[in-house]
Amino acid sequence: MAIAQLTPAPLLLTDWRIEPVGDRCLQIRLGEQASVAVSRIVHAVTECLLQQRWPGMRDVVPAFTTVAVHFRPEMFPRDNGPAFAQLAARIRALLVDGVPAVAHADRVVEVPACYGGEYGPDLDDVARACDIDTAEVIRLHCATPLVLYTFFFSPGNPFAGPLHPRLNVPRRTTPRTLVPAGSVAIANGISSIYQDASPGGWNLIARTPWNLFHVDRNPPTRLQLGDRLRFVPILPAEFDAMLEPRP
């Protein structure tokens, strides 16, 4: 998964550690809280590792504050010690002097979203919890582009931030057994879009008519790491007209 072209400028890593995750994966922890700055480091480390193509390294997976490296233990010489230790040593040697920063395209993507009602059933609850009206919730959610930190939960499911501080709400105390595909949700300073219908515990404030994942395209994700997402309010009639099919 290529993120973007690398630039020559080094990005120094000041606070990081390598942790084991089972016998076939290790994790590089690069921060303790999701932020634009930490996400920039995560993306740079991910791209740097992807370019190494070391034997035995199966996949490199970025998250909010970590990078997981999946590997095949049988591909590492037994006489040189545990596979984890061998791979960790390689990674330390690579990262100790910093890594090239990733040159994102700085793309702003306007994501249509229909707020409230059946499209965002938690909008009123979010407004009450934040002590503002629903119009202000929508305004704050749309006011500033959110940086796409990572994908997980389902294919093409984006997580972006930071949300405006006045929209700081936790997850719902009771998760839903079924959240409609396309639901735009917020929790803990982050906004997400449920690509597929699934259970979920985030606060649903809107829904987008877009399908964000097409398995037959390259890349299959409509959005890319580092994109800045600007949500744009639309009316229910516009939602119906723009609704895209899903497989």
pLDDT at 76: 95
Q: How many CB atoms lie within 10 A of CB 160?
A: 25
C-alpha neighbours within 13 Å on the C-beta side of residue 189:
9
Q: Which domains does the chain have, with CATH numbers?
A: 5-103 (3.30.1360.40), 108-242 (2.40.100.10)
Quote the crossing angle between the two packed helices 123-130 and 134-143, to the nearest 10°.
Answer: 90
pLDDT at 9: 60
> Please, which residues have CB within 8 angstroms of residue 129's CB and are 6 or more apart in sequence?
169
pTM: 0.87
Going by DSSP bridges, is the β-strand pair 158-161/190-193 parallel, antiparallel, or unpaired? antiparallel
Q: How many CB atoms lie within 10 A of CB 171?
A: 14
* One pLDDT digit (tens) per residue for the chain, 247 residues: 444 444 456 787 888 999 999 999 999 999 999 999 999 999 999 999 999 989 999 999 999 999 999 999 999 999 999 999 999 999 999 999 889 888 766 799 999 999 999 999 999 999 999 999 999 999 999 999 999 999 988 889 999 999 999 999 999 999 999 999 999 999 999 999 999 999 999 999 999 999 999 988 888 999 999 999 999 999 999 999 999 998 7
Q: Return the structure tokens found at 235.
A: 């009316």
pLDDT at 105: 64
pLDDT at 6: 47
pLDDT at 1: 44
Judge contact between 202 and 192, C-beta under 8 A: yes
